[in-house]
Amino acid sequence: MAAGPDLRDRRRTRTRLAIQAEALRLFAERGYAQTTIDDIADAAAISPRTFFRYFPTKEDVVMWDEYDPEAPALLEARPDDEPVAESFRAVMREALGGLYRRDPERLLTRVRLMATVPELRARFLEQQAAGIELVAAQIPDADHLRVRVLGHALVGAVTVALDAWRADDGRSDLMALVDRAFAALDDLS
């Protein structure tokens, strides 16, 4: 077929976004647990079977965002001589900032769900932890223990910032909160 792989991917992304939009709407309206996959499929005019082709689980429809897979690339783009902690902070600011600027409402809805629904909160933290491993793996012959402790502290700061933003119903500036949280890390002792 003529359609290149990029084009196909783009199409898939569009569909995913459409499904996610319907799902988030329903979740906000009547709650996560009260919304079944069938409901979502109906709203998105697809078959339940197809839902699972785009999202492996119900949870993933909340977790997923379209810039997720770009994080590793962002990390590689940082100068080699930058301290690890610095690269890390920069990447997180970029990724989060992108989502924030593009559609703060959607981000807030997702963050709300991740804060409220236990399974989603759990998945969120798990994803954060996975990010740490990803980074730790890229730093050869380092004190693994040290790098990971650092990583946890950093993603922990982001988590705290997101929670504060959500508790405020998204009225405050997310990026400012992130910066304040990072700063708190510096004078931890």
Question: Is residue 164 a contact residue for its own copies (CB under 8 A)?
Answer: yes
- Could you tell me the smallest distance in angstroms from the CB atom of residue 125 to DNA? 17
181 binds, among DNA, its own copies, none (CB under 5 to 8 A by kind): its own copies
AA letter at 106:
R
* Dist. CA 26–CA 68, nearest whole Å: 23
Looking at the chain, list the stretches that DSSP marks H as alpha helix, in order from N- to C-terminal side.
Answer: 5-30, 37-44, 48-54, 60-63, 71-76, 84-102, 104-116, 118-138, 144-167, 174-186
Using CB under 8 A as the criterion, what x/- string covers residues 99-138 for binding its own copies? -------------------xx-xxx-xx-xx---------
Q: If contact means CB under 5 to 8 A according to the sort of partner, which of DNA, its own copies, none does residue 93 touch?
A: none
Q: Which does 50 bind (CB under 5 to 8 A by kind): its own copies, DNA, none?
A: DNA
Per-residue x/- marks for DNA, 43-82, CB under 7 A?
---xxxxx-xxx-xxxx-----------------------
Chain-centroid distance, C-alpha 72: 13
Q: Of 20, 35, 87, 109, which one interacts with DNA (CB under 7 A)?
A: 35
Do 26 and 39 contact (CB within 8 A), yes or no? yes
Q: Using CB distances below 5 to 8 A depending on partner kind, what does residue 2 bind out of its own copies, DNA, none?
A: DNA
Helix axes 144-167, 118-138, angle to 10 degrees: 140
- Report the alpha-carbon distance of residue 173 to residue 136 in Å, rounded: 30
Instruction: Determine if 180 is a binding residue for its own copies (CB under 8 A).
Output: yes
